[in-house]
Structure 1
Amino acid sequence: MIEQPVCLTLIVPHLLREEVFDYLTEQTDLVSGFTASHGAGHGTEIRLHTAAERVKGHADQAVVQVVLSSSDAGRLLDRLWVSFAGTKLVYWTIPVTELGTID
Structure 2
Amino acid sequence: MSPRLKRLTILAPRDLEDAVLETLLDMQPALPGFTALAVSGHGEDFEGAGVQEQVRGRIDRSMVWLVLPEDDVERTLTQLRRRMPHPGILWWVEPVDAMGRLA
Tell me how many residue pairs correspond in the alignment: 102
Structure 1 pair 15/2, CA: closer, same or farther in 2 (3 Å)? same
| Shift in Å, 1:3 | 2.2
Q: Given that residues 7 and 65 in structure 1 are in contact (C-alpha distance below 8 angstroms), is that contact kept between their aligned partners in structure 2?
A: yes
Structure 1 pair 30/5, CA: closer, same or farther in 2 (3 Å)? farther
Name 1:86's counterpart in structure 2. 86
What is the root-mean-square deviation of aligned Cα atoms in Å?
A: 1.7
Q: What CA distance in whole angstroms lies between the structure 2 residues aligned with 1:51 and 1:24?
A: 30
Name 1:36's counterpart in structure 2. 36
- Which stretches in structure 2 are left out of the alignment for 5+ residues? none
Q: What is the correspondence of 1:4-43 to structure 2 with a 5 Å cutoff?
A: 4-43=4-43
Q: Given that residues 30 and 72 in structure 1 are in contact (C-alpha distance below 8 angstroms), is that contact kept between their aligned partners in structure 2?
A: no
Q: What CA distance in whole angstroms lies between the structure 1 residues aligned with 2:77 and 2:47?
A: 21
1:62-99 deviation line (CA, Å, top 9, x unaligned): 11100011110111111111111134311001111101
- SS of 2:2's equivalent in the other structure is coil
Aligned-pair identity in percent equals 28
Give the letter for the 1:74 counterpart.
E
TM-score normalised by the chain length of structure 1 = 0.86
TM-score normalised by the chain length of structure 2 = 0.86
